[in-house]
Amino acid sequence: MGQQHRGFIACVLATTLTIASAPAAAEVCAVDDTQQRVCLDQSAERIAALSPGATELVYAAGAGDNVVAVVAYSDYPPAATAVPSVGSHTRLDLERLIALQPDLVIGWVTGNPTEQLATLREMGVPVFSIEPRSFEAVSHTIERLSILAGTDAAGFAEAERFRKGITDLRARFTDADPVPVFYQVWDEPLMTVNGDHLIGEMIELCGGDNVFGHLERLVPRISAEAVIAANPEAILAGGMGEENRHWLTRWQSFPSLTATERDNLFFIPPSLVQRPTPRMLEGTRLFCEKLEVARGRRP
């Protein structure tokens, strides 16, 4: 048995003994997004968040001080950048993660390797898997995380703030004139979202008509020719960073597109819309503002 492997087992045993010797306290439980009931002997004090979105949600739940591990690109809130990283969401450094002795791991249902999450569960580490796919699910996730962390007051208040903000926006744009919209979620290959995606819900709330909302896949691949044929009135896109607008450049070369002709090519900072967190409220407001601009540019 190699020295590295012996060290890994020692870390696992140390973690198991630490959990086993913890003082008795009131059990806390919540059901995750795989419908698994996760119970802890006491509120989580050492939390590992295995996606940038999970990190934001734990902080939103008021448990930021309890985060001991994150993954690459966990850059919000700023305090998260000082937390040790245990790899990327697609490939975790399990030895480093176990060494940090988490008493709760927040997993990403479709983003983390299933075999690595299974390994953690086999080791006795509680894994709470999340994947909020609606505005209400974002609020509900914050509430469940706050229950597990014992930060209910802060978590429920933040969940309600987000819920109210979305409700107010929805009421404001209920009767808005529809705007045919293409949202570009990726460049190469060219990708968008359908109507069941959370971003699709954002578009609908703002009075947008997602020109690819009818497609079956949640995040379908499309062609530039399909975009041209759909002829959206507005194109919204993120990019490979918060200030990188180059994804919109290609559409400037199609002057016959209504979106290009009317200068309705809008950049949206990706972290505000592509992470299911409370910052989606800011992203949704921005979506709605851009579609209002598009309405104002109609002949």
pLDDT in tens, 100-132: 999 999 999 999 999 999 999 999 999 999 999
Return the pLDDT at 231: 98
Handedness of CA 181, 186, 191, 195 (dihedral sign): negative
pLDDT (average), residues 279-288: 96
Instruction: For residue 112, give the DSSP letter.
Output: S
Residue 217 amino acid letter: R
Around 223, how many Cα atoms within 13 Å sit in the side-chain half-sphere?
A: 3
pTM across the whole model: 0.86
Is 176-296 in the same CATH topology as 11-163? yes
pLDDT exceeds 80 at position 10: no
CA distance 183 to 203: 9
pLDDT (average), residues 251-258: 95
In terms of pLDDT, which residue wins out, 23 or 168?
A: 168
The whole-chain average pLDDT of the chain stands at: 91
Q: Domain 176-296 belongs to what topology?
A: Rossmann fold (3.40.50)
pLDDT (average), residues 243-250: 78
Where does the pLDDT of residue 246 fall: very low under 50, low under 70, confident under 90, or very high at 90 and above? confident
| Every domain of the chain and the residues it spans | 11-163, 176-296
DSSP per residue, 252-281: GG-TTSHHHHTT-EEE--GGGTSS-STTHH
- Cβ partners under 8 Å of residue 50, min gap 6: 71, 86, 89, 92, 105, 106, 107, 108, 111, 112
Burial category of 188 from C-beta neighbours within 10 Å (exposed 0-12, middle 13-18, buried 19 and up): exposed
Question: Is residue 113 within 8 Å of 93, Cβ to Cβ?
Answer: no
- Degrees, nearest 5: CA angle 277-107-284: 15
Q: What is the pLDDT of residues 149-192, one digit of tens each?
A: 999 999 999 999 999 999 999 999 999 999 999 999 999 899 99
Q: What is the pLDDT of residues 38-61, one digit of tens each?
A: 999 999 999 999 999 999 999 999
Where does the pLDDT of residue 12 fall: very low under 50, low under 70, confident under 90, or very high at 90 and above? very low
Return the pLDDT at 247: 84
Query: Domain 11-163's class?
Result: alpha beta
Task: Count the neighbouring beta carbons within 10 Å of the beta carbon of residue 14.
Answer: 13
Return the pLDDT at 14: 46
Where does the pLDDT of residue 2 fall: very low under 50, low under 70, confident under 90, or very high at 90 and above? very low
pLDDT exceeds 70 at position 195: yes
